[in-house]
């Protein structure tokens, strides 16, 4: 059957639509991984459009308009066409309609409404990259790696990501029922999550024991790097710091600039990360400023399968530059750069435009960061009995000259940490071991002997 040539007006409309997606001329919007204003200008040699294929597209478009069982508005057909183009590329390239566009902008600012999960796509379903600290999703027991099979009883297989997000959105305080598939669990199970305003404290910290700091980044918002630097400055001003555990577990990533700020603060200049893509504007290098604010204080970075994107950049940079020991399990492997290309005031295309590379040229994409020391999350049970008889328990045993030594309080605190979070316990143990083997630097010059005393031979 011969295809009918469509009116020039419709063809021009389709051409305009294609140009709008490929060559944005609207306001600049920073994407989730790139702090620059991301607008990709199409080189002159690539501006020609495949008119024969566009004619075929227009014919299909017209057939749907005239023959589909229900009437579908032209605007909706165009949106479906754009969604189809992007969903066939990779899991992270999507068409952002008004709600999804607003949600992305809110997330990078640190406050939004929802369940509190970072999501991706896995074989047609929604996968949870990581629940956000303190979120309703975390409270409900959702984990990194869980697969959402149904939302409120409806299968979401092959449903576009933005549609799934819309289903999970709703008024604060309302409930959503998720059917979850989990590795190691034979049958899917239901989880009820109560929607709430997600206020994300991107940086938290506490002292694990004297001189050892736990610094947690739950995701990389615009100011996360600066918040981490301010925390370290305050701790340094208050006393001696012997080691830092940088906890990036279940950190789904975020703003690239924040990760560069964080890694750059403890690197003495040099490369942090670079990007490469097909388009010349996709290539970029990010360098650290001279000066390590911790002056070589040992660092252990904790990662796991929920550590993605910007958190992998930090781990990869500190690993390649030999500035930190990476501990935990292999990270997620999300090493692609998404650029936000606005096509109107309320819609945008999130398009994968480049890949990240660590300072040594390793691609993070699909490979992730392999820890220097692999420590699986586990429940630890002590086999040592505290009831064993010791020398001090024997009748008539001699006492030591140094008086009683009571390390019970420290031992109890470490035991509690080991039982609640064995990975964090191992990180702290490693830092303490490094310091035990590191010679102490004298804080003051040793006193010189009195020459008169030496001359007289006085002992």
Q: How far is CA 179 from the centre of its chain?
A: 25
What is the band of 46 on the pLDDT scale with cuts at 50, 70, 90?
low
Quick one: average pLDDT of 416-438?
Answer: 92
Q: How far is CA 329 from the centre of its chain?
A: 14
Instruction: Report whether 201 contacts 134 (CB < 8 A).
Output: yes
Q: What is the DSSP letter of 392?
A: G
Quick one: average pLDDT of 290-305?
Answer: 97
Cα dihedral sign, 99-104-109-112: positive
Q: What are phi and psi of 11, to 5 degrees?
A: -60, -45
Q: What pLDDT digit, counting tens, does each position of 57-106 carry? A: 999 999 999 999 999 999 899 889 998 999 889 988 988 876 555 555 55
Q: So what's the pLDDT on residue 174?
A: 92
> Is the residue at 133 inside a domain?
yes
Q: How far is CA 310 from CA 186, 224, 318, in A?
A: 33, 11, 13
Active site residues: 309, 320, 334
- Number of Cβ atoms within 10 Å of the Cβ of 336: 22
Q: Are residues 222 and 281 in the same domain?
A: yes
Quick one: average pLDDT of 410-431?
Answer: 89
Q: Are residues 126 and 270 in the same domain?
A: no
What is the band of 226 on the pLDDT scale with cuts at 50, 70, 90?
very high
- Which pTM value belongs to this model? 0.71
Which of the two residues, 441 and 285, has the higher pLDDT score?
285
Q: How far apart are CA 38 and CA 32, in angstroms?
A: 11
Which of the two residues, 53 and 122, has the higher pLDDT score?
53
Q: How far apart are CA 17 and CA 38, in angstroms?
A: 19
Provide the CATH number for the domain around residue 359: 3.90.226.10
Is 289 in a helix, a strand, or coil? Answer: coil
Angle, in degrees to the nearest 10, between helices 74-87 and 8-22? 40
Range of the domain at 185: 111-199
Look at the chain and report how many structural domains it folds into.
2
Can you read off the two tokens belonging to residue 18? 């294609």
Mean of per-residue pLDDT scores for the chain: 81
- Name the domain boundary from 156, 172, 199: 199
Q: What pLDDT digit, counting tens, does each position of 433-451 carry? A: 999 988 766 554 444 444 4
Q: Are residues 230 and 348 in the same domain?
A: yes
Q: Are residues 286 and 332 in the same domain?
A: yes
- Name the domain boundary from 163, 184, 199: 199
Is 52 in a helix, a strand, or coil? Answer: helix
Q: How far apart are CA 149 and CA 125, in angstroms?
A: 6
Q: So what's the pLDDT on residue 31?
A: 39
Q: How far apart are CA 199 and CA 299, in angstroms?
A: 28
Q: How far apart are CA 423 and CA 418, in angstroms?
A: 8
Q: Are residues 236 and 171 in the same domain?
A: no
- Name the domain boundary from 199, 218, 243: 199
Q: Is the pLDDT of residue 15 over 50?
A: no
Q: Are residues 142 and 265 in the same domain?
A: no
Residue tagged 């040229």 (tokens): 361
Provide the CATH number for the domain around residue 150: 2.30.42.10
Q: What is the DSSP letter of 395?
A: T
Q: Are residues 234 and 359 in the same domain?
A: yes
């Amino acid at each position: 059957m011969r295809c009918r040539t469509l009116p020039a007006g419709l063809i021009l409309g389709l051409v305009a639509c294609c140009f709008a997606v490929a060559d944005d001329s609207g306001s600049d919007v920073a994407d989730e991984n790139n702090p620059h204003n991301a607008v990709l200008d199409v080189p002159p040699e690539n501006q020609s459009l495949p008119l024969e294929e566009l004619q075929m597209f227009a014919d299909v478009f017209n057939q749907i308009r005239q023959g589909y069982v229900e009437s579908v508005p032209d605007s909706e057909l165009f949106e479906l066409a754009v969604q189809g183009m992007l969903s066939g590329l990779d899991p992270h390239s999507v068409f952002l309609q008004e709600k999804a566009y607003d949600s992305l902008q809110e997330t990078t600012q640190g406050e939004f409404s929802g369940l509190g999960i970072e999501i991706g796509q896995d074989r047609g379903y929604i996968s949870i990259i990581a629940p956000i600290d303190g979120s309703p999703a975390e409270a409900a027991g959702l984990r990194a790696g869980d697969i959402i099979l149904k939302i409120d009883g409806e299968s979401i297989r092959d449903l576009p990501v933005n549609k799934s997000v819309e289903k999970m959105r709703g008024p604060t305080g309302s409930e959503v029922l998720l059917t979850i598939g989990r590795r190691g669990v034979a049958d899917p199970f239901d989880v009820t999550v109560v929607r709430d305003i997600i206020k994300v404290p991107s940086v938290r910290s506490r002292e694990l024991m004297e001189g050892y700091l736990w610094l947690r980044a739950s995701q990389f918002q615009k100011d996360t790097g600066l918040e981490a630097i301010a925390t370290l400055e305050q701790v340094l001003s208050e006393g001696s710091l012997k080691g830092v555990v940088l906890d990036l577990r279940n950190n789904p990533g975020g703003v690239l600039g924040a990760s560069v700020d964080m890694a750059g603060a403890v690197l003495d200049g040099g490369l942090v990360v670079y990007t490469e893509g097909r388009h010349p504007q996709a290539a970029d290098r990010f360098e650290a400023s001279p000066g390590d604010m911790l002056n070589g204080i040992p660092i252990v970075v904790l990662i796991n399968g929920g550590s993605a994107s910007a958190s992998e950049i930090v781990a990869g940079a500190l690993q390649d530059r030999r500035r930190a020991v990476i501990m935990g399990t292999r990270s997620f492997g999300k090493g692609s750069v998404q650029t936000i290309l606005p096509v109107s005031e309320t819609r945008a295309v999130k398009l994968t435009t480049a890949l990240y590379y660590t300072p040594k040229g390793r691609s993070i994409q699909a490979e992730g960061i392999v820890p220097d020391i692999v420590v699986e999350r586990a429940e630890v049970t002590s086999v040592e009995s505290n009831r064993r008889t010791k020398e001090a328990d024997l009748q008539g045993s001699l006492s030591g000259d140094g008086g009683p030594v009571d390390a019970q309080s420290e031992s109890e605190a470490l035991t509690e940490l080991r039982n609640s979070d064995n990975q964090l316990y191992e990180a702290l143990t490693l830092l303490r071991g490094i310091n035990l083997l590191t010679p102490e630097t004298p804080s003051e010059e040793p006193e010189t002997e009195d020459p008169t005393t030496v001359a007289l031979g006085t002992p």
